[in-house]
Structure 1
Amino acid sequence: MKQFYKSKSLLRLSFLFVLLFSVITVVSSCKKDDDDEFQDHVVQFEVKTTTGGVIKTIVTQVGTTKNDIFDPVGTSWKSEEFFVNSSQAQLNLDANALLPETDSELTINLWIDGEIAKTSKKKGKGVLVASIDYSFLEL
């Protein structure tokens, strides 16, 4: 009878241990989810052409907010630095320019937190278009 009693206690103790382990595992896994919050980033758009190039149009988009800039002055353009929360899924930069020579270049850059995150270069003569699409969200 004592042996039966001991095996019953051992079974209860094992069940209690498994339950305690499960609760600790769930609590610790939920704690890790809190670390994945969205963060603010400093963003800046940049468009450049070589000497003689004429920037015709620049289109920027942050999330669902779109901005069109027609005929900016000069061979280069930079937006002001601004904050974007990483919950904004998409950043887009498009530009077109009229370039005079076959070795002329149109370069667009997306700066995030002081570093170039993405760049696009087009080389040639005539009207060229460059485009950048960027997402903070990992797929």
Structure 2
Amino acid sequence: MKQFYKSKSLLRLSFLFVLLFSVITAVNSCKKDNDDEEFADHVVQFEVKTTTGGVIKAIVTQVGTVKTDIFDPVGTTWMSGEFFVNSSQAQLNLDAKADLPDADSELVINLWIDGEIVRTDKKKGAGPMVASIDYSFLEL
């Protein structure tokens, strides 16, 4: 009878140990899955410029799902103000249309992130030109 009691206690103790080990393992694995550390804030700025005589007709910017249209901005250069974007927003887009006067004219658009140009698109020629930049913070 005593032997039966000891084996039953050993079984209970083993079950308790396995249960405790499972709970500790689950808690530690959840602690490491902090997704907030994965995303960071970045300073972003859009830039559109043409050579002398070029006329910017339209600019479209998109940050995540928020789209902004700007028609007939004044001047040959346009820059958005600096703004913060969290990398969880994933997608940045910049499109610009300009009328250029001659074959040597240029339309240049730049995407600045954290003070550096990360993407540029340049169109050269006469007439209506369209330049486009797409950027994603997510690595595919």
**TM-score (normalizing by structure 2):** 0.77
Give the Cα–Cα distance (whole angstroms) in 1 for the partners of residues 104 and 32 of structure 2. Answer: 52
Shift of 1:34: 3.9
Give yes or no for the alignment of 1:116 onto 2:138. no
SS at match of 1:127: strand
1:28-61 C-alpha deviation (Å, 9 max, x unpaired)? 8776654872000000000000000000000000
1:42 aligns with: 43
Identity of aligned residues (%): 82
Shift of 1:89: 1.3
1:17 aligns with: none
Give the Cα–Cα distance (whole angstroms) in 2 for the partners of residues 102 and 26 of structure 1. Answer: 65
RMSD: 3.0
1:133 aligns with: 134
Give the Cα–Cα distance (whole angstroms) in 2 for the partners of residues 27 and 101 of structure 1. Answer: 66
Instruction: Say if 1:28 and 1:107 are closer, same or farther in 2 by CA, change over 3 A.
Output: farther
2:96 aligns with: 95
User: 2:81 is matched by which residue type in structure 1?
Assistant: E
Give the Cα–Cα distance (whole angstroms) in 2 for the partners of residues 52 and 39 of structure 1. Answer: 40
**TM-score (normalizing by structure 1):** 0.77
Give yes or no for the alignment of 1:70 onto 2:81. no
Q: Which runs of 5+ in 1 are unaligned?
A: 1-24
2:52 aligns with: 51
1:83-112 C-alpha deviation (Å, 9 max, x unpaired)? 000000100000000000101000000000
2:87 aligns with: 86
